[in-house]
């Protein structure tokens, strides 16, 4: 009788998947983490306001999130491998078109729409694959994969600045587009999980339970939006996204406004990336120990992160900015390490792909509004500090929703039989949805 592989292998080829995801994070998220280096170059080239320029990155973030359900659905119907390779082509095309410097609307279309959709098609399936291959070691595996963003960001900060000085911002985007074609190679390494089969007289068959499970293969679970826990977690995501992307974009202009040289300001991003890496690995390790619940840990780190950003504007010298940026980077890494995997605690592993898609879809509103709002505050006050105050307030308030989600999840567990709660994280559909 044929049976599918219900339990992730927790190793083996999974580490190749983690390595591939590591490079995918570097070639997508790390590029955008350092896009603040191009901010003043683009603003001066088109001679526009700060808030107008910020719409370039804001559009990228919005499309990245809005494309998440589509990326999840296509991964179920096709394969994660195929979707990632298509994403690599879209991302590279966006950067190459942007390098032509045609006009600001073309920047919105190329860097915003094409690049954003390409990043979504690469990032979402890569995270999904890591969750498919791991259960016991999932927090560590995800932390290692996501740390690619930090490792690449450390190298990209001085590298991008050198490219800008040597080839202008347009030539730099062309080279970056060429680098992002390597996403296609990473996607090719994403081998779907295979089913484990047994047969009767050499003829594979399915029992009734297997048939009911495989019939759900490739179905995006929109009904998950009815879960109040997920709705509250989405509220956390919207507020967090409104504040998440502001510091990397405004740190370099803020340092420049204090009279720091371009390379000194750029080095802040490299230190931030190193602290981010340490935060992801440390929080992933701590989450794997299960000393506290993931949602409890997330509440603590996101609240402290907000407080750090509220205090950041008191830094008026290179070294004080470096200290606050290090704290910000470490805590940001802690949030990133567990905020995606915490979705499993809310919807279970069988609903993870759909839950992640919905999470990213609605989070787009925060990412889309946050950067222009911060840019408008900077234009209005003529002070970059306003952007950090806005970011800190959003993150502190987002922590309130995580507290509510944690209480609801724990209350629901107490009301369920022990035999059911033990199977909440049942990875039945992961083997199915991976093998598409």
pLDDT value at 117 more than 90: yes
Q: What is the pLDDT of residues 308-366, one digit of tens each?
A: 999 988 888 888 888 888 899 899 888 888 887 788 788 887 777 788 788 888 887 78
Calculate mean pLDDT across residues 172-196.
Answer: 87
Match 């089969």 to its residue by tokens. 197
pLDDT value at position 417? 57
Q: What is the pLDDT of residues 389-432, one digit of tens each?
A: 999 999 999 999 999 998 888 888 777 655 444 444 444 343 33
pLDDT band, very low/low/confident/very high, at 209 (cuts 50, 70, 90): very low
Cβ-Cβ contacts under 8 Å for 58 (sequence gap 6 or more): 112, 367, 368, 369, 370, 371, 372
pLDDT band, very low/low/confident/very high, at 132 (cuts 50, 70, 90): confident
Q: What is the pLDDT of residues 229-256, one digit of tens each?
A: 888 999 998 999 888 878 877 887 787 7
pLDDT value at position 218? 57
pLDDT value at 3 more than 90: no
| Highest mean pLDDT (candidates 21-25, 149-153, 405-409) | 21-25
Calculate mean pLDDT across residues 174-182.
Answer: 94
Calculate mean pLDDT across residues 210-214.
Answer: 38
HEC secondary structure over 134-158: CCCCHHHHHHHHHCHHHHHHHHHHH
Instruction: Give the C-alpha separation, 112 to 95, whole Å.
Output: 10
pLDDT value at position 103? 84
pLDDT value at position 262? 67
Closest CA to 129 of 82, 197, 60, 182: 82
From 96-110, 136-150, 164-178, the region with the lowest mean pLDDT: 136-150
Domains assigned to the chain? 1-194 (1.20.1250.20), 223-415 (1.20.1250.20)
More confident residue, 137 or 156: 156
Q: What is the pLDDT of residues 283-295, one digit of tens each?
A: 878 877 778 888 8
Cα torsion angle, 150, 153, 155, 158, sign? negative
From 96-110, 144-158, 205-219, 306-320, the region with the lowest mean pLDDT: 205-219
CB-CB contact of 83 with 182 (8 Å): no
Closest CA to 348 of 281, 272, 427: 427
pLDDT value at position 196? 44
pLDDT band, very low/low/confident/very high, at 24 (cuts 50, 70, 90): very high
pLDDT value at 202 more than 70: no
Burial 7-34 (b: 16+ CB within 10 A, else e): ebeeeeebeebbebbbbbbbbbbbbbbb
Instruction: Give the C-alpha separation, 86 to 83, whole Å.
Output: 5
pLDDT band, very low/low/confident/very high, at 119 (cuts 50, 70, 90): very high
Instruction: Give the C-alpha separation, 435 to 218, whole Å.
Output: 10
Four-point Cα dihedral 204, 209, 210, 213, nearest 10: 160
């Amino acid at each position: 009788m044929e049976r599918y592989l219900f339990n992730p292998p927790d190793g083996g080829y999974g580490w190749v998947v983690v390595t591939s995801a590591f490079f995918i994070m570097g070639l997508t998220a790390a590029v955008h983490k350092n896009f603040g280096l191009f901010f003043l170059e683009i603003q001066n080239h088109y001679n526009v306001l700060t808030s107008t320029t910020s719409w370039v990155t804001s559009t990228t973030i919005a499309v990245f999130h809005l494309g998440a359900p589509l990326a999840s659905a296509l991964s179920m119907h096709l394969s994660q491998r195929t979707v990632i390779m298509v994403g690599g082509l879209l991302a590279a095309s966006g950067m190459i078109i942007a390098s032509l410097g045609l006009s600001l609307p073309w920047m919105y279309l190329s860097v915003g729409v094409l690049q954003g959709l390409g990043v979504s098609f690469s990032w979402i399936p890569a995270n999904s694959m890591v969750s498919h291959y791991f259960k016991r070691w999932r927090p560590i595996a995800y932390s290692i994969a996501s740390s690619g963003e930090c490792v690449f960001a450390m190298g990209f900060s001085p590298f991008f600045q050198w490219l800008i000085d040597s080839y202008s911002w347009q030539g730099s985007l062309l080279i970056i587009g060429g680098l992002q074609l390597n996403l296609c190679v990473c996607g090719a390494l994403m081998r779907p999980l295979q089913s484990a089969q047994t047969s009767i007289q050499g003829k594979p068959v399915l029992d009734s339970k297997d048939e009911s499970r495989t019939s759900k293969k490739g179905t995006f679970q929109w009904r998950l939006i009815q879960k109040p826990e997920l709705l509250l977690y989405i509220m956390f995501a919207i507020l967090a996204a409104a504040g998440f992307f502001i510091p990397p974009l405004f740190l370099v202009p803020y340092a420049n406004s204090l009279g720091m040289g371009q390379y000194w300001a750029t080095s802040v991003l490299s230190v931030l990336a190193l602290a981010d890496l340490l935060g992801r690995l440390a929080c992933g390790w701590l989450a794997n120990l299960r000393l506290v619940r993931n949602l409890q840990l997330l509440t603590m780190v996101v609240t402290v992160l907000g407080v750090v950003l509220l205090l950041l504007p008191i830094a008026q010298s290179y070294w004080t900015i470096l200290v606050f940026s290090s704290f910000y980077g470490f805590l940001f890494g802690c949030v990133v390490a567990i905020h995606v995997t915490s979705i499993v605690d809310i919807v279970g592993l069988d609903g993870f792909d759909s839950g992640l898609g919905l999470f990213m879809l609605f989070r787009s509103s925060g990412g889309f509004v946050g950067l222009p709002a911060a840019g408008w505050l900077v234009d209005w006050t003529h002070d970059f500090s306003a952007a950090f105050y806005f970011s800190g307030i959003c993150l502190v308030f987002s922590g309130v929703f995580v507290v509510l989600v944690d209480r609801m999840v724990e209350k629901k567990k107490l009301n369920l039989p022990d035999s059911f709660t033990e199977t909440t994280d049942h990875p039945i559909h992961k083997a199915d949805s991976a093998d598409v």
